[in-house]
Structure 1
Amino acid sequence: MAELNGNNTNMEIKTLLNDVLEYAFPSNTHPLEKLQRFSVECQRKEAKKDGDYNADLHRIRIFNLSRDSKEILLTALHDLSHHIEYTFYGESAHKERFYNYYHNVLVTAIGMKLLLKMDLSLLDMKERDKLEKAHGAIHYWKIPDITYKENIFYLDVKNGYEFRDTLKDWGYKYLSLEEVWRGEFTRDSVWEEKSELNELGIDDESILVHHAVDFQTTFVYYLVIRNAYDHRLTLRKLGYKYGAFNVGKRNWVKKIDAKDLNEERAKVEGLMGVSLKVLKELPSSESTK
């Protein structure tokens, strides 16, 4: 079932990128259908690179989910630009042509209100310099005026395992990498929906309402520490559970918001012999709890 894997999270980002392509490369002048033949795969993996594009598989991968949501979107747009260049020319590299496509999708995303110009300060300095060398200072970029989902809001429910059957019946999708149930509503109906969730027994702290163009990610990490018996008292105080989540009897495991990873690393870095790792995937029996 789609609710039990990462497909819905990946599809949410792919759909967003498809929409960017639709505005950046209108179908009446470009092979839009061909450009939209790619997949997105977010991975619970902290790596040296933030993402990559596999031309043979037409696949965009996104790593380092502990980053700011806008940084994750910029990575997706970067690798989408590689896909665009490869689709047109059968190759892609960080040269002038690539930065032309990257500039196109960036100004389109800004026009759609998915990004602000100030968000481009999150780009790597070399990348930003190459963009500005080819297209001038970001401050002076001309941004298209695009009307995009201005009346659409998302309602995200976390800690919703107890209510999963009702949420499914009400049309919510489960985003497993974020462990939230997402519903889509109009501006006029979203607050009424929130009230109905409250009546169901879901408290305000478990509900997030945000505009559809306000790209937000709330990825969840499971941290694993192995063979740390000597530090068991400290780990318990820090919220780690021995043998939890069905990932091995000798493992200490803690569930955190991905954005808190660096803070969590700092808490255990002084413990001798302790190695903290991010668990890539939970056993399926635990994936919706």
Structure 2
Amino acid sequence: MMNLMHWRLVLAVVDAGNITHAAAQAGMTQSGASQAIAQLEDTLGAPLFTRERRQTTPTALGLRVADEARLMLDALQRIQAMAHDASGSARGTLRLASFPMVFSTILPPVLRRFRQMYPAIDVVSLEASDDEVEALLTAGAVDVGVVLNPAPERQVCPLGQDEWLAVLPAAHPLARAGGVVGLADLLAQPFILATGGCSVHAQSLAAEAGLAVTDVRATVRDWTSAFALVREGLGVTLVPALTVPENRRGLRVMSLTVPLHRSFALAASALSADSEAVQALFGMLQQDDKRR
């Protein structure tokens, strides 16, 4: 049986001149691609390629079949475009920037739903710090970006929030004091400063509270590194709840006496705010928010 995969593979082999390279482009194994070409040749009753050690060359029939396959696939693409236009489906590319933690926790289900609703919009993702996201938005280098603690007057689509939690070695004296710990008491301990690639972290939170981190034993970008150092008893740390590992062996995770939170939202660049792709994403998020 012949299907679109066969015709795309024929074109890939003609263009690459090699089944191995063509298989990689088609997302197939070399043996799978070879079997598919052989099945197609059996169905047609004639060879499409001559195979040598390092090269696969189309026969005269193979060249003619490839020309027809290219026309057929081009026509299919035009039909799909017409269908999208007729249905009013949004099209285009959406450039999105975010810091790593949100990419791994909050954004996957959002982007999965967006792809289901708008398959004609390609999402191009870029990992950056929160300061870099703001710079990219200002420059119009991305269409949307995840921003931290947006000002109330800023036009954004909320994504969620999480709580700042203290993480201490399980045997630490403060870990035995109860279920909560004061921010000042925590910051006075030997400290592992974890940033997660963001400008909002324990040091900035301390400054906002009129406090200081006085004994920084290590500064790390990666949350996992901070937890490893805390397990070794080198200090305590303050991290967002979304980063806390499932395996808490050797750790004591505690809330602050006065809880602190951080919020996430999607903001659009001034150049892209009215684009079809941005409006589609924000419209989806606003509908999801109404259903909650």
TM-score range, shorter chain: under 0.3
TM-score by length of 2: 0.20
Q: Which structure: greater strand fraction?
A: 2
TM-score by length of 1: 0.20
